[in-house]
Amino acid sequence: MGQQEETRSIAAHDSLTKIYNFTAFCESSRKYLLSAGAGRSMGVIYANIIDFKSVNELYGLPEGDRMLGAFADFLKHLPRTRVCGRIFSDNFLCLFERTPGVDLYDEALGFAGAVERFLVGQQPFHPRSKPQIVSGISALEGGGEGLSAAIDGANIAHKEAKKKYRTACAVFDEALKDEMARAIRLQADLQAALEREQFTFYLQPKVNLRTGRVAGAEALARWKKPDGTVAGPAEFVPLLERTGNVEQLDFMIYEQVCRYLCGRQAGDSIVVPVSVNVSRAHLKDTDFVQKVKQLLIRYGVHPSLMEFELTETMLAESMEEAAAVIRGLRALGCKVSIDDFGTGYSALNLLKELEFDILKLDGSFVSGAAAEGYKSDVILRNIIRMADELYMTVLCEGLETAGQVERLNTFGCTLAQGYYFAQPMPAEAFEAFVQQAGGYCALPWGGADGAQRLPDYCEASALTDSAVRSITHSLFDAVPCAVAGVDPSSRQLLFANEQLFSLCGYPRGQMAEMEKAFFVHIATEPEKARLYAEMRRQFGTAGRCDTKLPVRRADGSVIWVRMTATYAGSPEWGRYLLCFFYDITREQTGTAAKSREIKQLSEERDFYAGMLSSIPCAVAQFRAEADGRYHAIHTNLAGARILGYESLEDFWSQPDPNVLSCVHPDDRRGALGNLSRLRRPGDARSFECRLVRRDGSVCWVSGTLQMLSGPEGSVIQVVFLNFTNRHALQTRFVHHYKRLARVLGQVLFEYEYGTDMLTFAGASESGLELPERAPAFLAEVHAGRFSQPFASYAACIAQALEEDGDDVCGAERRIELPGGGIWVRVSLVAVRGSSGARESAVGCIMDVTPQHEDRARLLRLTQTDSLTGVLNKRTTEQRCRTLLENTPGEKPFALLLLDVDNFKQTNDRYGHPKGDAVLRCLGENLSGLFRRDDVVGRVGGDEFLMMMPGAGGEQAVGRARKIAQEMCRSVSVQCGVDVSGSIGVVLSKPGACAYEELLRRADSALYAAKAAGKGCYRVYGGA
């Protein structure tokens, strides 16, 4: 065999299995079919090894490679195999000659049996792994011209067999052809439905089982077909997910829900939060949270009114991406729920790794025979209790009977959803449903009409444990003033204590009148505008509000109250206003006695003291005196015990209440420095120091100092924890790390902060000559006295040494050496002395060039299209958005959208390999045609997008003309097929419109170009 033949053979065969690759398989199959003539009946088999990954993971890549080779030999030596090839990974193709007189179903059974025997023979090589092989079989009609259709048919049949998740062989028969045709028609109908916005949402209420109140709703997508019928998501969502259009559907529903909530907020109707579903495709979109934020801002919807549901299966498959999306949504103020909890296999791990607001139990927990019985009750009860202790609200969906509702209520479930209460309904019907009963639903254990009709705030005992915790540990009934929680967006009353009923003069049963707009109801008419303006001003500057206002009571009389409000949060209500009201009518009119004020202040102090005593960390307050002393005015029991006192009485009996006397003498200077930086209410400082306990022993504490505004002037509050044991462990860890570092054989160093001395140990593999000692190291670095390349190493070490924060830190830098540049990482551990200050550090220098190169290579792979070499769709969109944001407003730019004419016909006529070659050649030519600063990317199957910052109309039109007239002709010559392209051009300036609008305009210009004929270009808004 000559060298050229050998080279061609290597290019045509898979290097691992030694059978044909996909391109060579197609070419060899066509040649065989041409030589065999029309008299032979042929077929194609598409085979895929399922769970092949487990072989690699359990037995290593060599065993996986061996099995692939064995399966290739199996296919090659089947009696009627004529050509076989490995397409990619664990997918194979086989051209075989059909047995005369045997139908395709029997051929499939025979092949499946042979595969079963093959797998049995492979089992001894990997006994703990059980891979399966699924395949599809299709008849080949039309000789070589029908090969592509037969491959596609076998592939579709193999996907059908894959659903069984066991070794099987499916036949591409008329039923599958019809199903494929239906799917194609449905896909076209769905595309038209998206363009015409035929999708809408229905709402299904969520009911509070304690009160019967409608606490929210779930938005469920519906397709209103032109014939008037309405289709549920099961009919269209799976196909939209496969075609990649589900993101467009989701945001269509999100926008409709935001528009709906915006309208409800503007009116006097009851507004409840609405939950929407998140598709798995959004987890890959890094801009998903930003897009949601823009929607909320555009419609003025408060984030707490939007809840996003992610299914348990989706979360388990994409844990890292899901965590980022959840963090982003919760940071906006939206709630996040885990849907279908309990249907997967990693539910508990999800609760451990991710943060949720609401846990939605799947309906299977309460329906069917398996949902009843002792075991089911134990599981359900403990899931609810576990979620409660994790500060999550529990909602169970799929309730259909009164017995299911009563059972869940017995177990402490907070919310419920299902046909028992209502089916999903249009938004207008939902509004009528909510309004007809004042926002309440009938409960099985209610009164004559079945409705309990209790407001959410009537009884603390009616709330779940998580709700009680969210209302400051259920202490509001002990507060000597009125307390209320108010939704900041709708100003709707969320909860209240007994004192609020007394203050406003309303019986409990009539308090529901105040739900819709609390402040509107209680504030007198002239005071409402002033109250809202004052609240906006104070919250904008101080984050809290303290004001006086006249309140209209139920009997028409008016009293004066002092209102103190701040923001709080809970799993049930999200971010809400926590308001305290004090009756100051007598003080305001000048008739109040001083004793009343003293009594009220005393009661307030007793309340706060009781609340702080229940907190597990130490909390204390003190005031700066004129003599420079800091006098303690309060501490809780945890703080007293850290200082060695058994009780608060024991603590207050000490002769010296000066706070600084408790601080270790060596740490007092640092403590005074922190205190001096607290200049105004709201200022805060973190600290670590040693405290001297009552018995003379020393303990380490860590915490926060904050200046607060009190009725008698500013006070300083300190919250701290005892971390003596952790400090000792930290010191011991440093010594062990130091001994370990000496064994590494890398560039090691030690540094003394007091003497500014750096000492090197170990050897440098790069050949760098290091000094044994470097006196005045940081001073020399800052003065620039070291010569290269050691100066770069020194700068990297200095950066790590001077880094604030953790004692384990590091830095990375590129170092230029005579033989080329390398990346190095400096890692060090700082050692603190008894004073708490850094005394020394130990560290090492590592060459991390391979890691940097791997990251750069991975970045290129994730940003470029694997076929054409230009940017992929996601990166193209990101680059374009960045250019739009960063390009100066006066500079023009152009956007070109290229679509290959009749590309599907090219694929059908010449095969997918030829189509791929055309796209690859287009990508190479476009990359060479545009400037380095331009964006060139593939945004669809045969669509390319180019953005040219700083380009005017003449440049853009010239480039479009060159693509249409010269470049496409060049590609035609290179690929041997007729290639032409239509181009839409948009000219604009940054800030003139959003990226989506630019893309829409380019698409409009592209369609105009296609209408003019092949190989044309059109400018949006031009000729």
Cα dihedral 365, 370, 373, 375 sign:
negative
**Predicted pLDDT at 656:** 64
Q: Are 1014 and 902 in contact (CB under 8 A)?
A: yes
d(CA 151, CA 25): 11
**Predicted pLDDT at 219:** 95
**Predicted pLDDT at 268:** 66
Domain positions in the chain are 1-172, 186-438, 468-587, 605-722, 726-853, 865-1019
pLDDT at 448 over 50: no
**Predicted pLDDT at 14:** 87
Percentage with pLDDT > 90 across the chain: 20
Contacts of the segment 71-74: beta carbons below 8 A, 24+ positions apart: 71/17, 71/47, 71/118, 71/133, 72/14, 72/17, 72/18, 72/19, 74/114, 74/118
Select from 3.40.50.300, 3.30.450.20, 3.40.718.10, 3.10.110.10 the CATH code of 726-853. Answer: 3.30.450.20
d(CA 880, CA 937): 10
Q: What is the pLDDT of residues 801-824, one digit of tens each?
A: 887 766 777 788 787 776 677 888
pLDDT at 611 over 70: no
Select from 3.10.20.600, 3.40.50.720, 3.30.450.20, 3.40.50.300 the CATH code of 605-722. Answer: 3.30.450.20
**Predicted pLDDT at 123:** 93
The yes-or-no answer to whether 1-172 and 865-1019 have a common fold is yes
d(CA 412, CA 529): 42
**Predicted pLDDT at 941:** 84
Q: Give Cα 1010 to chain centroid, integer Å.
A: 40
Residue among 441, 434, 421, 457 at smallest CA distance from 270: 434
CA dihedral (676, 679, 684, 690) in degrees, to 10, reads 20
d(CA 329, CA 304): 10
Q: What number is the average pLDDT over the span 679-687?
A: 80
Q: Are 721 and 701 in contact (CB under 8 A)?
A: yes
d(CA 608, CA 711): 14
Q: Give Cα 432 to chain centroid, integer Å.
A: 35
Q: What is the pLDDT of residues 236-256, one digit of tens each?
A: 888 888 777 889 999 999 999
Highest average pLDDT, of 455-459, 620-624, 805-809, comes from: 620-624
Q: Band of the pLDDT at 914, cuts 50, 70, 90?
A: confident
pLDDT at 149 over 50: yes
Residue among 753, 766, 914, 922 at smallest CA distance from 848: 766
**Predicted pLDDT at 574:** 65
pLDDT at 730 over 70: no
Q: What is the pLDDT of residues 488-514, one digit of tens each?
A: 776 777 777 777 877 887 765 555 455
Residue among 565, 555, 435 at smallest CA distance from 491: 565
- The CATH class for the domain spanning 1-172 reads alpha beta
Fold assignment, 468-587: Beta-Lactamase (3.30.450)
d(CA 716, CA 250): 50
**Predicted pLDDT at 44:** 95
pLDDT at 117 over 80: yes
Collapse the DSSP code of 519 into the 3-class scheme (helix H, G, I; strand E, B; otherwise coil) and give the result.
helix
Name every residue whose Cβ is closer than 8 Å to that of residue 476 and which is 6 or more positions away in sequence. 460, 483, 497
Q: Band of the pLDDT at 602, cuts 50, 70, 90?
A: low
CA dihedral (967, 973, 974, 976) in degrees, to 10, reads 130
Burial of 561 (0-12, 13-18, 19+ CB in 10 A): buried
Collapse the DSSP code of 551 into the 3-class scheme (helix H, G, I; strand E, B; otherwise coil) and give the result.
strand
- The CATH class for the domain spanning 865-1019 reads alpha beta
Mean pLDDT value across the chain: 80
CATH of domain 186-438: 3.20.20.450
**Predicted pLDDT at 132:** 92
Tell me the whole-structure pTM to 2 decimals.
0.43
pLDDT at 689 over 80: yes
Q: Which token pair is 545? A: 């509000």
pLDDT at 933 over 90: no
Q: Are 219 and 202 in contact (CB under 8 A)?
A: yes
**Predicted pLDDT at 91:** 92
Question: What is the H or E stretch that residue 821 is in?
Answer: strand 820-832
Q: Are 24 and 10 in contact (CB under 8 A)?
A: no
Q: What is the pLDDT of residues 322-374, one digit of tens each?
A: 888 998 998 888 999 988 786 654 467 777 778 888 888 877 777 754 456 78
